Structure 1
Amino acid sequence: MLTEHAPAKINLALHLRRRRPDGYHDLESIFAFTDFGDTLHAAPAETLTLTLSGPTAAAAGPDADNLVLRAGWALAAAAGMVPGAAVTLEKRIPVAAGLGGGSADAAAALRLLNRLWGLNWPLDRLATLAEPLGADVPVCVYSQMRFGAGKGEALSAWPHDPAGTPVLLVNPRVAVATGPVFAGWDQRDLGPIDPALPLDRLRNDMTAAAIALQPVIADVLAALERAGGTSLVRMSGSGATCLALYPDLAARDRAVTALADSDWWLCPTHII
Protein backbone atom coordinates (compact mmCIF):
# COMPACT_ATOMS: atom_id res chain seq x y z
CA MET A 1 0.00 0.00 0.00
CA LEU A 2 1.21 3.50 -0.88
CA THR A 3 0.40 6.71 1.00
CA GLU A 4 0.18 10.34 -0.13
CA HIS A 5 -0.37 13.51 1.93
CA ALA A 6 -2.90 16.09 0.64
CA PRO A 7 -1.86 19.40 2.25
CA ALA A 8 -4.54 22.03 2.83
CA LYS A 9 -4.23 25.06 0.57
CA ILE A 10 -4.33 28.60 1.93
CA ASN A 11 -4.49 31.90 0.06
CA LEU A 12 -2.17 34.50 1.56
CA ALA A 13 -3.67 36.99 -0.90
CA LEU A 14 -6.45 36.78 -3.50
CA HIS A 15 -7.11 39.65 -5.91
CA LEU A 16 -10.05 39.36 -8.31
CA ARG A 17 -9.52 41.11 -11.65
CA ARG A 18 -12.49 40.41 -13.95
CA ARG A 19 -15.19 37.92 -14.83
CA ARG A 20 -14.31 35.91 -17.93
CA PRO A 21 -16.68 34.97 -20.76
CA ASP A 22 -16.33 31.29 -19.76
CA GLY A 23 -17.83 32.03 -16.32
CA TYR A 24 -14.55 31.81 -14.43
CA HIS A 25 -12.82 34.85 -12.94
CA ASP A 26 -9.35 36.13 -13.74
CA LEU A 27 -7.56 36.39 -10.44
CA GLU A 28 -4.17 36.63 -8.83
CA SER A 29 -3.34 34.65 -5.72
CA ILE A 30 -0.45 33.70 -3.48
CA PHE A 31 -0.95 30.01 -2.75
CA ALA A 32 0.70 28.31 0.21
CA PHE A 33 0.25 24.90 1.80
CA THR A 34 0.15 23.65 5.36
CA ASP A 35 1.37 20.60 7.19
CA PHE A 36 -2.27 19.90 8.05
CA GLY A 37 -4.28 18.01 5.46
CA ASP A 38 -5.90 14.79 4.31
CA THR A 39 -4.21 11.43 3.69
CA LEU A 40 -4.73 9.00 0.81
CA HIS A 41 -3.76 5.33 0.67
CA ALA A 42 -3.87 3.09 -2.38
CA ALA A 43 -3.33 -0.60 -3.07
CA PRO A 44 -3.53 -2.56 -6.33
CA ALA A 45 -7.02 -3.73 -7.33
CA GLU A 46 -8.93 -4.76 -10.43
CA THR A 47 -11.21 -1.70 -10.39
CA LEU A 48 -10.96 1.85 -9.06
CA THR A 49 -12.78 2.22 -5.73
CA LEU A 50 -12.83 4.84 -3.01
CA THR A 51 -13.48 4.47 0.71
CA LEU A 52 -13.85 7.57 2.89
CA SER A 53 -13.04 7.88 6.57
CA GLY A 54 -12.12 10.63 8.99
CA PRO A 55 -13.92 13.47 10.81
CA THR A 56 -15.11 15.35 7.70
CA ALA A 57 -15.86 12.33 5.50
CA ALA A 58 -19.64 12.63 5.92
CA ALA A 59 -19.62 16.12 4.40
CA ALA A 60 -17.51 15.15 1.40
CA GLY A 61 -20.46 14.00 -0.73
CA PRO A 62 -21.25 10.75 -2.53
CA ASP A 63 -18.23 8.66 -3.45
CA ALA A 64 -19.22 8.69 -7.12
CA ASP A 65 -18.93 12.49 -7.20
CA ASN A 66 -15.59 12.63 -5.43
CA LEU A 67 -12.75 14.37 -7.27
CA VAL A 68 -10.41 11.55 -6.24
CA LEU A 69 -12.23 9.12 -8.54
CA ARG A 70 -12.45 11.69 -11.33
CA ALA A 71 -8.70 12.24 -11.05
CA GLY A 72 -8.06 8.51 -11.22
CA TRP A 73 -10.25 8.06 -14.27
CA ALA A 74 -8.58 11.02 -16.00
CA LEU A 75 -5.08 9.69 -15.32
CA ALA A 76 -5.98 6.20 -16.53
CA ALA A 77 -7.57 7.58 -19.71
CA ALA A 78 -4.50 9.71 -20.44
CA ALA A 79 -2.26 6.67 -19.90
CA GLY A 80 -4.46 4.42 -22.03
CA MET A 81 -5.06 1.91 -19.27
CA VAL A 82 -7.92 0.44 -17.26
CA PRO A 83 -7.96 2.06 -13.82
CA GLY A 84 -7.50 -0.26 -10.89
CA ALA A 85 -6.80 0.74 -7.29
CA ALA A 86 -8.41 0.52 -3.88
CA VAL A 87 -8.11 4.09 -2.58
CA THR A 88 -8.85 5.18 0.98
CA LEU A 89 -9.24 8.88 1.79
CA GLU A 90 -8.81 9.99 5.40
CA LYS A 91 -10.73 13.28 5.33
CA ARG A 92 -9.76 15.97 7.85
CA ILE A 93 -9.95 19.21 5.86
CA PRO A 94 -13.34 20.91 6.37
CA VAL A 95 -15.55 20.90 3.27
CA ALA A 96 -16.48 24.19 1.51
CA ALA A 97 -14.02 25.98 3.78
CA GLY A 98 -11.61 27.86 1.50
CA LEU A 99 -8.85 25.30 2.08
CA GLY A 100 -9.07 23.50 -1.26
CA GLY A 101 -9.83 20.13 0.30
CA GLY A 102 -11.36 18.51 -2.76
CA SER A 103 -8.65 19.95 -5.00
CA ALA A 104 -5.90 18.79 -2.64
CA ASP A 105 -7.39 15.28 -2.60
CA ALA A 106 -7.63 15.13 -6.40
CA ALA A 107 -4.05 16.31 -6.77
CA ALA A 108 -2.82 13.80 -4.19
CA ALA A 109 -4.70 11.06 -6.04
CA LEU A 110 -2.87 11.96 -9.25
CA ARG A 111 0.50 11.78 -7.49
CA LEU A 112 -0.43 8.57 -5.66
CA LEU A 113 -1.80 6.66 -8.65
CA ASN A 114 1.06 7.92 -10.80
CA ARG A 115 3.35 6.01 -8.43
CA LEU A 116 1.08 2.99 -7.94
CA TRP A 117 0.66 2.46 -11.66
CA GLY A 118 4.37 2.94 -12.37
CA LEU A 119 3.80 5.85 -14.77
CA ASN A 120 6.40 8.11 -13.17
CA TRP A 121 5.08 11.17 -14.99
CA PRO A 122 6.59 14.51 -13.90
CA LEU A 123 4.49 16.91 -11.84
CA ASP A 124 4.22 19.33 -14.76
CA ARG A 125 2.43 16.66 -16.80
CA LEU A 126 0.11 15.83 -13.90
CA ALA A 127 -0.66 19.54 -13.41
CA THR A 128 -1.72 19.88 -17.05
CA LEU A 129 -3.96 16.83 -16.68
CA ALA A 130 -5.40 18.39 -13.51
CA GLU A 131 -6.71 21.59 -15.15
CA PRO A 132 -10.16 20.23 -16.15
CA LEU A 133 -10.70 18.94 -12.59
CA GLY A 134 -10.82 22.44 -11.05
CA ALA A 135 -9.00 25.75 -10.93
CA ASP A 136 -7.06 24.90 -7.75
CA VAL A 137 -6.09 21.35 -8.65
CA PRO A 138 -2.94 22.22 -10.68
CA VAL A 139 -1.35 24.22 -7.85
CA CYS A 140 -2.28 21.44 -5.42
CA VAL A 141 -0.35 18.98 -7.60
CA TYR A 142 2.81 20.86 -6.62
CA SER A 143 1.64 21.67 -3.05
CA GLN A 144 4.33 24.33 -2.87
CA MET A 145 4.28 28.13 -2.63
CA ARG A 146 3.17 29.55 -5.98
CA PHE A 147 1.83 32.72 -7.53
CA GLY A 148 -1.30 31.97 -9.56
CA ALA A 149 -2.88 34.00 -12.33
CA GLY A 150 -5.57 33.38 -14.96
CA LYS A 151 -8.23 31.33 -13.20
CA GLY A 152 -5.50 30.05 -10.89
CA GLU A 153 -3.82 27.62 -13.27
CA ALA A 154 -1.09 29.97 -14.63
CA LEU A 155 1.55 29.28 -12.00
CA SER A 156 4.94 30.80 -11.33
CA ALA A 157 7.45 31.04 -8.51
CA TRP A 158 6.91 33.48 -5.66
CA PRO A 159 10.02 35.40 -4.50
CA HIS A 160 9.40 34.92 -0.78
CA ASP A 161 9.51 31.59 1.06
CA PRO A 162 7.54 31.46 4.34
CA ALA A 163 8.12 27.73 4.89
CA GLY A 164 8.00 26.89 8.58
CA THR A 165 5.87 29.92 9.48
CA PRO A 166 3.38 28.99 12.25
CA VAL A 167 -0.26 29.29 11.18
CA LEU A 168 -3.57 29.12 13.01
CA LEU A 169 -6.57 28.11 10.92
CA VAL A 170 -9.99 28.94 12.32
CA ASN A 171 -13.31 27.90 10.85
CA PRO A 172 -16.62 28.90 12.51
CA ARG A 173 -18.14 25.55 11.48
CA VAL A 174 -20.13 26.97 8.58
CA ALA A 175 -19.81 25.95 4.94
CA VAL A 176 -19.49 28.58 2.22
CA ALA A 177 -20.02 27.61 -1.42
CA THR A 178 -17.59 29.29 -3.79
CA GLY A 179 -20.14 30.16 -6.49
CA PRO A 180 -22.32 32.50 -4.40
CA VAL A 181 -19.22 34.29 -3.08
CA PHE A 182 -17.97 34.97 -6.60
CA ALA A 183 -21.48 36.10 -7.53
CA GLY A 184 -21.46 38.56 -4.63
CA TRP A 185 -18.17 40.20 -5.64
CA ASP A 186 -18.70 43.92 -6.38
CA GLN A 187 -16.80 43.60 -9.71
CA ARG A 188 -14.30 46.27 -8.69
CA ASP A 189 -10.74 45.60 -9.84
CA LEU A 190 -8.58 47.08 -7.07
CA GLY A 191 -5.31 46.22 -8.76
CA PRO A 192 -2.79 43.40 -9.09
CA ILE A 193 -0.64 41.72 -6.48
CA ASP A 194 2.64 43.59 -6.09
CA PRO A 195 5.41 41.25 -4.83
CA ALA A 196 7.24 44.27 -3.41
CA LEU A 197 4.44 44.90 -0.91
CA PRO A 198 4.23 43.09 2.45
CA LEU A 199 1.41 40.58 2.77
CA ASP A 200 -0.59 42.81 5.09
CA ARG A 201 -0.84 45.40 2.30
CA LEU A 202 -2.47 42.85 -0.02
CA ARG A 203 -6.10 41.62 0.07
CA ASN A 204 -8.62 38.86 -0.26
CA ASP A 205 -11.24 40.42 -2.53
CA MET A 206 -13.78 37.71 -1.69
CA THR A 207 -13.98 38.65 1.99
CA ALA A 208 -16.87 41.13 1.86
CA ALA A 209 -19.05 38.83 -0.24
CA ALA A 210 -18.33 35.87 2.07
CA ILE A 211 -19.17 37.93 5.16
CA ALA A 212 -22.45 38.98 3.55
CA LEU A 213 -23.35 35.27 3.33
CA GLN A 214 -21.89 34.25 6.70
CA PRO A 215 -21.40 37.27 9.03
CA VAL A 216 -19.63 35.08 11.58
CA ILE A 217 -16.52 35.29 9.37
CA ALA A 218 -16.11 38.90 10.49
CA ASP A 219 -16.23 37.70 14.10
CA VAL A 220 -13.44 35.20 13.44
CA LEU A 221 -11.22 37.82 11.79
CA ALA A 222 -11.82 40.23 14.66
CA ALA A 223 -11.09 37.55 17.26
CA LEU A 224 -7.78 36.69 15.60
CA GLU A 225 -6.81 40.36 15.57
CA ARG A 226 -7.73 40.74 19.25
CA ALA A 227 -5.71 37.67 20.20
CA GLY A 228 -2.63 39.54 18.97
CA GLY A 229 0.87 38.44 18.10
CA THR A 230 0.10 37.93 14.43
CA SER A 231 1.79 39.31 11.32
CA LEU A 232 -1.24 38.63 9.10
CA VAL A 233 -4.93 37.90 9.53
CA ARG A 234 -6.88 36.98 6.41
CA MET A 235 -9.74 34.86 5.12
CA SER A 236 -8.59 31.97 2.94
CA GLY A 237 -10.11 31.46 -0.50
CA SER A 238 -13.87 31.97 -0.50
CA GLY A 239 -14.11 31.28 3.25
CA ALA A 240 -15.20 30.55 5.83
CA THR A 241 -11.77 29.51 7.16
CA CYS A 242 -9.58 32.38 8.33
CA LEU A 243 -5.85 32.23 8.94
CA ALA A 244 -3.29 34.03 11.03
CA LEU A 245 0.51 33.92 10.62
CA TYR A 246 2.85 34.19 13.61
CA PRO A 247 6.54 34.88 14.14
CA ASP A 248 6.96 31.86 16.42
CA LEU A 249 5.13 28.90 17.93
CA ALA A 250 4.67 30.61 21.28
CA ALA A 251 2.70 33.48 19.72
CA ARG A 252 0.54 31.05 17.79
CA ASP A 253 -0.15 28.92 20.83
CA ARG A 254 -1.15 31.99 22.86
CA ALA A 255 -3.75 32.72 20.19
CA VAL A 256 -5.01 29.14 20.40
CA THR A 257 -5.47 29.59 24.15
CA ALA A 258 -7.26 32.91 23.63
CA LEU A 259 -9.78 31.28 21.26
CA ALA A 260 -10.15 28.00 23.13
CA ASP A 261 -13.50 28.93 24.66
CA SER A 262 -15.13 29.41 21.26
CA ASP A 263 -16.93 26.53 19.57
CA TRP A 264 -14.96 27.15 16.38
CA TRP A 265 -12.69 24.63 14.66
CA LEU A 266 -9.07 25.51 15.52
CA CYS A 267 -6.08 24.03 13.73
CA PRO A 268 -2.55 25.08 14.72
CA THR A 269 -0.16 24.13 11.93
CA HIS A 270 2.65 25.62 9.80
CA ILE A 271 3.45 26.43 6.18
CA ILE A 272 5.40 23.73 4.34
Structure 2
Amino acid sequence: MKILTPAKINPLLYILSKREDGFHELYMHMLPVSLFDTLSFSKNNKKGLNFRMNGATFSASPEDNLVVRAVRLFEKAAGVTADLDIILEKHIPSGAGLGGGSGNAAGTLQALNHIFRLPSTPAGLLPPETLFELALELGSDVPFFLEPAPCEIRGRGEKLNPLIEYPEFLLVIIKPDLSISTPAAYNNCIPEERTGFPQVKSFADLKSHLNNQFETSLLSQYPLLSELKSLLLQNGAFGALVSGSGSAVFGIFNKKELQKHAFKNLSCLYPGEIFSCETLTTHRYY
Protein backbone atom coordinates (compact mmCIF):
# COMPACT_ATOMS: atom_id res chain seq x y z
CA MET A 1 0.00 0.00 0.00
CA LYS A 2 1.35 3.43 -0.95
CA ILE A 3 -0.09 6.79 0.11
CA LEU A 4 0.75 10.47 -0.38
CA THR A 5 0.75 12.80 2.62
CA PRO A 6 0.38 16.52 1.83
CA ALA A 7 1.96 19.65 3.27
CA LYS A 8 -0.06 22.56 4.66
CA ILE A 9 0.04 26.35 4.81
CA ASN A 10 -1.66 28.88 7.12
CA PRO A 11 -2.92 32.07 5.41
CA LEU A 12 -4.24 33.21 8.82
CA LEU A 13 -2.62 32.39 12.15
CA TYR A 14 -3.34 34.14 15.45
CA ILE A 15 -1.81 33.16 18.80
CA LEU A 16 -4.38 34.16 21.43
CA SER A 17 -3.07 32.95 24.80
CA LYS A 18 -1.01 30.34 26.57
CA ARG A 19 -3.11 27.63 28.20
CA GLU A 20 -2.67 26.01 31.60
CA ASP A 21 -1.71 22.73 29.89
CA GLY A 22 1.27 24.46 28.24
CA PHE A 23 -0.28 24.60 24.77
CA HIS A 24 -1.40 27.81 23.06
CA GLU A 25 -4.92 28.87 22.17
CA LEU A 26 -4.94 29.51 18.42
CA TYR A 27 -7.13 30.68 15.59
CA MET A 28 -5.95 29.76 12.10
CA HIS A 29 -6.91 28.79 8.59
CA MET A 30 -5.11 25.67 7.42
CA LEU A 31 -5.04 24.43 3.82
CA PRO A 32 -3.53 21.26 2.35
CA VAL A 33 -1.24 21.81 -0.64
CA SER A 34 0.04 19.58 -3.45
CA LEU A 35 3.51 19.02 -2.04
CA PHE A 36 3.72 15.41 -0.86
CA ASP A 37 5.73 12.86 1.05
CA THR A 38 5.20 9.18 0.14
CA LEU A 39 4.61 6.34 2.61
CA SER A 40 4.77 2.68 1.56
CA PHE A 41 3.46 -0.19 3.72
CA SER A 42 4.07 -3.89 3.09
CA LYS A 43 3.55 -6.95 5.32
CA ASN A 44 6.75 -8.80 6.30
CA ASN A 45 5.78 -12.22 7.76
CA LYS A 46 5.88 -11.34 11.45
CA LYS A 47 9.26 -9.62 11.49
CA GLY A 48 7.97 -6.65 13.51
CA LEU A 49 8.17 -3.02 12.42
CA ASN A 50 10.94 -2.14 9.99
CA PHE A 51 10.96 1.62 9.31
CA ARG A 52 13.21 3.36 6.79
CA MET A 53 13.33 6.97 5.65
CA ASN A 54 14.81 8.32 2.41
CA GLY A 55 15.36 11.94 1.40
CA ALA A 56 16.14 13.34 4.86
CA THR A 57 18.30 12.60 7.88
CA PHE A 58 17.40 13.04 11.55
CA SER A 59 19.69 12.69 14.53
CA ALA A 60 16.86 11.30 16.70
CA SER A 61 16.26 7.55 16.95
CA PRO A 62 13.66 5.95 14.64
CA GLU A 63 11.32 5.44 17.64
CA ASP A 64 11.07 9.25 17.92
CA ASN A 65 9.91 9.66 14.32
CA LEU A 66 6.23 10.56 14.11
CA VAL A 67 5.53 7.62 11.78
CA VAL A 68 6.90 5.12 14.30
CA ARG A 69 5.15 6.90 17.18
CA ALA A 70 1.87 6.69 15.25
CA VAL A 71 2.40 2.95 14.69
CA ARG A 72 3.06 2.35 18.41
CA LEU A 73 -0.02 4.32 19.46
CA PHE A 74 -2.18 2.47 16.95
CA GLU A 75 -0.85 -0.93 18.08
CA LYS A 76 -1.72 -0.12 21.69
CA ALA A 77 -5.19 1.28 20.94
CA ALA A 78 -6.16 -1.47 18.48
CA GLY A 79 -4.48 -4.43 20.19
CA VAL A 80 -2.58 -5.42 17.05
CA THR A 81 1.07 -5.96 16.11
CA ALA A 82 2.28 -4.08 13.04
CA ASP A 83 4.53 -6.58 11.23
CA LEU A 84 5.23 -4.11 8.46
CA ASP A 85 8.01 -2.66 6.36
CA ILE A 86 7.33 1.10 6.17
CA ILE A 87 9.31 3.37 3.86
CA LEU A 88 8.97 7.15 4.13
CA GLU A 89 10.14 9.16 1.10
CA LYS A 90 10.60 12.77 2.23
CA HIS A 91 9.98 15.65 -0.16
CA ILE A 92 8.43 18.14 2.28
CA PRO A 93 11.28 19.93 4.07
CA SER A 94 11.50 19.66 7.87
CA GLY A 95 11.64 22.63 10.23
CA ALA A 96 9.71 24.61 7.63
CA GLY A 97 6.23 25.12 9.15
CA LEU A 98 4.70 22.98 6.38
CA GLY A 99 3.42 20.16 8.61
CA GLY A 100 5.29 17.35 6.89
CA GLY A 101 5.76 15.24 10.02
CA SER A 102 2.17 15.79 11.14
CA GLY A 103 0.90 14.65 7.74
CA ASN A 104 3.13 11.56 7.93
CA ALA A 105 1.64 10.68 11.34
CA ALA A 106 -1.98 11.15 10.25
CA GLY A 107 -1.42 9.24 7.01
CA THR A 108 0.11 6.37 8.98
CA LEU A 109 -2.92 6.21 11.29
CA GLN A 110 -5.30 6.14 8.34
CA ALA A 111 -3.25 3.52 6.47
CA LEU A 112 -3.02 1.21 9.50
CA ASN A 113 -6.74 1.60 10.15
CA HIS A 114 -7.35 0.45 6.58
CA ILE A 115 -4.76 -2.38 6.59
CA PHE A 116 -6.10 -3.91 9.84
CA ARG A 117 -9.80 -3.47 9.04
CA LEU A 118 -12.08 -6.46 9.59
CA PRO A 119 -15.08 -7.71 7.59
CA SER A 120 -17.22 -6.29 10.40
CA THR A 121 -15.42 -2.91 10.24
CA PRO A 122 -14.96 -2.19 6.50
CA ALA A 123 -14.48 1.55 7.11
CA GLY A 124 -11.51 0.88 9.43
CA LEU A 125 -10.62 -1.05 12.55
CA LEU A 126 -10.92 1.94 14.89
CA PRO A 127 -13.78 4.47 14.84
CA PRO A 128 -13.04 8.05 13.65
CA GLU A 129 -13.26 9.51 17.18
CA THR A 130 -10.54 7.13 18.42
CA LEU A 131 -8.27 8.00 15.47
CA PHE A 132 -8.84 11.68 16.27
CA GLU A 133 -7.75 11.15 19.90
CA LEU A 134 -4.60 9.33 18.77
CA ALA A 135 -3.86 12.09 16.26
CA LEU A 136 -4.18 14.82 18.90
CA GLU A 137 -1.87 12.87 21.21
CA LEU A 138 0.76 12.87 18.45
CA GLY A 139 0.60 16.62 17.80
CA SER A 140 -1.65 19.66 17.49
CA ASP A 141 -1.62 19.70 13.67
CA VAL A 142 -2.11 15.94 13.22
CA PRO A 143 -5.96 15.89 13.48
CA PHE A 144 -6.20 18.26 10.49
CA PHE A 145 -4.32 15.78 8.33
CA LEU A 146 -6.71 12.87 9.02
CA GLU A 147 -9.03 14.33 6.36
CA PRO A 148 -7.09 17.22 4.81
CA ALA A 149 -9.31 20.04 3.49
CA PRO A 150 -9.45 23.82 4.07
CA CYS A 151 -10.34 24.31 7.74
CA GLU A 152 -10.81 26.95 10.39
CA ILE A 153 -8.99 25.70 13.47
CA ARG A 154 -9.38 26.80 17.09
CA GLY A 155 -8.12 25.63 20.46
CA ARG A 156 -4.71 23.99 20.17
CA GLY A 157 -5.79 22.20 17.00
CA GLU A 158 -8.70 20.08 18.21
CA LYS A 159 -11.61 22.27 17.01
CA LEU A 160 -11.93 22.03 13.22
CA ASN A 161 -14.60 23.55 10.99
CA PRO A 162 -14.50 23.15 7.17
CA LEU A 163 -14.07 26.28 5.05
CA ILE A 164 -16.29 25.43 2.08
CA GLU A 165 -15.95 28.65 0.06
CA TYR A 166 -12.22 29.21 0.45
CA PRO A 167 -10.54 30.51 -2.72
CA GLU A 168 -8.19 28.10 -4.48
CA PHE A 169 -4.78 29.45 -5.49
CA LEU A 170 -1.31 28.63 -6.77
CA LEU A 171 1.87 28.77 -4.72
CA VAL A 172 5.60 29.11 -4.88
CA ILE A 173 7.22 27.99 -1.61
CA ILE A 174 10.81 28.81 -0.68
CA LYS A 175 12.59 26.91 2.09
CA PRO A 176 15.78 28.71 3.14
CA ASP A 177 18.79 26.88 4.51
CA LEU A 178 17.63 27.26 8.11
CA SER A 179 15.17 25.39 10.28
CA ILE A 180 13.13 26.93 13.10
CA SER A 181 12.10 25.03 16.21
CA THR A 182 8.34 25.34 16.81
CA PRO A 183 8.70 25.55 20.64
CA ALA A 184 11.33 28.29 20.23
CA ALA A 185 9.06 30.21 17.84
CA TYR A 186 6.22 30.08 20.40
CA ASN A 187 8.54 31.21 23.21
CA ASN A 188 9.53 34.31 21.23
CA CYS A 189 6.00 35.30 20.22
CA ILE A 190 3.71 37.29 22.52
CA PRO A 191 0.06 36.06 22.50
CA GLU A 192 -2.62 38.65 21.79
CA GLU A 193 -6.25 38.14 22.81
CA ARG A 194 -8.93 38.88 20.21
CA THR A 195 -12.46 37.67 19.56
CA GLY A 196 -13.32 38.67 15.97
CA PHE A 197 -11.66 37.03 12.97
CA PRO A 198 -11.91 37.87 9.27
CA GLN A 199 -13.79 35.75 6.75
CA VAL A 200 -11.98 34.74 3.58
CA LYS A 201 -14.17 33.94 0.57
CA SER A 202 -12.32 35.73 -2.26
CA PHE A 203 -8.85 36.73 -3.43
CA ALA A 204 -9.56 40.27 -2.20
CA ASP A 205 -10.33 38.92 1.28
CA LEU A 206 -7.20 36.80 1.18
CA LYS A 207 -4.96 39.72 0.20
CA SER A 208 -6.47 41.95 2.90
CA HIS A 209 -6.29 39.46 5.74
CA LEU A 210 -3.06 37.46 5.29
CA ASN A 211 -1.61 37.24 8.78
CA ASN A 212 0.88 35.12 10.67
CA GLN A 213 1.49 36.28 14.23
CA PHE A 214 4.78 34.38 14.34
CA GLU A 215 6.12 37.02 11.94
CA THR A 216 6.12 39.61 14.76
CA SER A 217 9.20 37.89 16.18
CA LEU A 218 10.51 35.79 13.28
CA LEU A 219 11.10 38.64 10.80
CA SER A 220 13.36 40.56 13.18
CA GLN A 221 15.13 37.40 14.30
CA TYR A 222 15.63 36.08 10.75
CA PRO A 223 15.88 39.04 8.29
CA LEU A 224 16.23 36.54 5.42
CA LEU A 225 12.52 35.72 5.76
CA SER A 226 11.60 39.36 4.97
CA GLU A 227 13.94 39.26 1.97
CA LEU A 228 12.24 36.10 0.66
CA LYS A 229 8.78 37.66 1.07
CA SER A 230 9.96 40.69 -0.93
CA LEU A 231 11.50 38.44 -3.58
CA LEU A 232 8.19 36.61 -4.06
CA LEU A 233 6.23 39.87 -4.30
CA GLN A 234 8.73 41.28 -6.80
CA ASN A 235 8.19 38.16 -8.91
CA GLY A 236 4.43 38.52 -9.21
CA ALA A 237 2.95 37.09 -5.98
CA PHE A 238 -0.03 39.11 -4.76
CA GLY A 239 0.73 38.09 -1.18
CA ALA A 240 3.54 36.37 0.72
CA LEU A 241 3.76 34.97 4.24
CA VAL A 242 5.88 32.79 6.49
CA SER A 243 4.23 29.37 6.80
CA GLY A 244 3.35 28.44 10.40
CA SER A 245 6.36 28.77 12.68
CA GLY A 246 8.72 28.89 9.67
CA SER A 247 11.12 28.79 8.02
CA ALA A 248 9.34 28.29 4.67
CA VAL A 249 7.84 31.35 2.97
CA PHE A 250 5.01 31.05 0.45
CA GLY A 251 3.89 33.37 -2.32
CA ILE A 252 0.29 33.32 -3.60
CA PHE A 253 -0.55 33.51 -7.30
CA ASN A 254 -3.90 33.51 -9.09
CA LYS A 255 -2.55 32.95 -12.61
CA LYS A 256 -0.61 29.89 -13.77
CA GLU A 257 1.62 31.94 -16.11
CA LEU A 258 2.72 34.21 -13.25
CA GLN A 259 3.43 31.23 -11.00
CA LYS A 260 5.48 29.46 -13.70
CA HIS A 261 7.46 32.62 -14.46
CA ALA A 262 8.16 33.26 -10.76
CA PHE A 263 9.21 29.65 -10.14
CA LYS A 264 11.62 29.76 -13.09
CA ASN A 265 13.08 33.13 -12.07
CA LEU A 266 13.46 32.24 -8.40
CA SER A 267 15.01 28.87 -9.20
CA CYS A 268 17.80 30.78 -10.95
CA LEU A 269 18.08 33.55 -8.34
CA TYR A 270 17.87 31.63 -5.08
CA PRO A 271 19.95 28.58 -4.07
CA GLY A 272 17.52 27.17 -1.49
CA GLU A 273 14.70 24.66 -1.99
CA ILE A 274 11.85 25.99 -4.13
CA PHE A 275 8.52 24.28 -4.79
CA SER A 276 5.64 25.00 -7.17
CA CYS A 277 2.26 23.70 -6.00
CA GLU A 278 -1.37 24.61 -5.36
CA THR A 279 -3.98 24.42 -2.63
CA LEU A 280 -6.20 21.33 -2.41
CA THR A 281 -9.92 21.26 -1.69
CA THR A 282 -9.66 17.69 -0.40
CA HIS A 283 -7.24 14.77 -0.23
CA ARG A 284 -7.81 11.04 0.14
CA TYR A 285 -5.12 8.60 1.25
CA TYR A 286 -6.59 5.54 -0.48
Is the TM value for this pair above 0.5?
yes
CA-CA distance at 1:112 after TM superposition: 1.3
CA 1:87–1:156: 2 relative to 1, 3 Å: same
CA-CA distance at 1:268 after TM superposition: 0.2
Aligned with 1:182 (options 186, 191, 209): 186
CA-CA distance at 1:212 after TM superposition: 3.3
Counterpart residue number, 1:144: 149
CA-CA distance at 1:214 after TM superposition: 2.1
CA-CA distance at 1:123 after TM superposition: 4.6
Counterpart residue number, 2:42: 43
CA distance in 2, matches of 1:4, 1:124: 22
TM-score by length of 1: 0.92
CA distance in 2, matches of 1:196, 1:222: 23
> RMSD of aligned C-alpha atoms?
1.8
Counterpart residue number, 1:168: 172
Aligned with 1:234 (options 231, 241, 250): 241
Task: Write out aligned runs for 1:68-147 (5 A).
Answer: 68-118=67-117, 120=124, 121=126, 123-147=128-152
> Which residue identity does 2:52 align to in structure 1?
T
CA distance in 1, matches of 2:234, 2:13: 23
Unaligned runs of 5+ in 1: none
Aligned with 1:224 (options 228, 232, 238): 232
Of 18-27 and 193-202, more deviation after overlay is shown by: 193-202
Tell whether 2:56 aligns with 1:52.
Answer: no
The number of residue pairs the alignment matches comes to 267
Percent sequence identity over aligned pairs: 27
Once the two structures are superposed, what CA deviation does each residue of 1:149-171 show, in whole Å capped at 9, x if it has no partner? 001221011142334x2111111
TM-score by length of 2: 0.88
CA 1:169–1:60: 2 relative to 1, 3 Å: farther
> Which residue identity does 1:105 align to in structure 2?
N
8 Å contact kept, 2:166–2:200: no
Aligned with 2:261 (options 254, 264, 271): 254
CA 1:78–1:151: 2 relative to 1, 3 Å: same
CA 1:124–1:9: 2 relative to 1, 3 Å: farther
Unaligned runs of 5+ in 2: 119-123, 281-286
CA-CA distance at 1:9 after TM superposition: 1.2
CA distance in 2, matches of 1:192, 1:180: 27
CA-CA distance at 1:63 after TM superposition: 1.4
CA-CA distance at 1:11 after TM superposition: 0.9
